[in-house]
Amino acid sequence: MAELVFDDNTLVNKLQILFIFDKMGIPLTESTILEICATRNNWISYMEIIEAIHTLVSSGFLYKNISSSKEEYYTLTPNGHECLNSFFARIPLSRRTEIVSYVKDNRMAFKRAQEYTHSYFKNDDGTYTVLLKIMDPTHAIVEMKLNVTNRKIAKSVAAKWENNAADVYSTIFDKLID
- Does residue 88 surpass a pLDDT of 50? yes
Q: What is the pLDDT of residue 120?
A: 92
How far apart CA 79 and CA 17 sit, in angstroms, is 14
Shared domain for 88 and 137, answered yes or no, is no
Determine the residue type at 93. L
Whether the Cβ atoms of residue 17 and residue 53 lie closer than 8 Å to each other = yes
Is the distance from CB of 10 to CB of 92 less than 8 angstroms? no
Same domain, 167 and 141: yes
Counted domains in the chain: 2
With respect to residue 1, please indicate whether it lies within any of the assigned structural domains.
no
Rounded to two decimals, the pTM is 0.70
Look at residue 14 and tell me if it is in a domain. Answer: yes
Q: What is the pLDDT of residue 162?
A: 81
- Residue 102: domain span: 8-114
